[in-house]
Amino acid sequence: MNLCNLLFAIALSTLLPSVLSQRLSITSPGPNAVVKAGATTDVVLHFESTTSSVKQVACTLGFRPVGAGNALYAATLVFDESGPKFEGSTYTWKVALPNADKFGQGIGQRYNLTLSQFYLLGATNTPMVSEFANVVTVQ
């Protein structure tokens, strides 16, 4: 095995636990949904784990423009007693979206509603992060 193959194998082995342990998707607002700036909306995440040794820590939610523009922080979603409503395999949070003035000229434009998930994996509590996004239009 040459050095390049060895480095690739090491890189793949560090990513594999994350891929195998987590499947998270934003089910609401769904792809191509229209969201209203300043409104409160339900953010629904569908969660599937292939291992029982995952401890959810938090998620952050933001808007990243599809074209030019500035990214906007929307919320931190914490997995604790004040955190999400959990039913079956979904987490639901009520989130107040940023006001229209925060979007500036971005009202009516498409954004990647981006969720970054922070969790601990395995017996060693290895910190992990994953990112998921749906394209939405902000009105």
pLDDT (tens digit per residue) in 87-133: 778 888 888 899 999 888 888 899 999 988 888 888 888 898 888 89
Q: Distance (Å, rounded) from C-alpha 118 to C-alpha 116?
A: 7
Q: Looking at residue 30, what is its pLDDT?
A: 92
Number of compact structural domains in the chain: 1
CB atoms within 10 A of CB 124: 8
Q: Looking at residue 20, what is its pLDDT?
A: 41
Write out the residue range of the structural domain in which residue 50 sits.
3-138
Q: Distance (Å, rounded) from C-alpha 19 to C-alpha 127?
A: 14
User: pLDDT tens for residues 31-57?
Assistant: 999 999 999 999 898 877 656 677 878
> CATH no. for residue 39?
2.60.40.10
The pTM score is: 0.73
16 or 24, greater pLDDT? 24
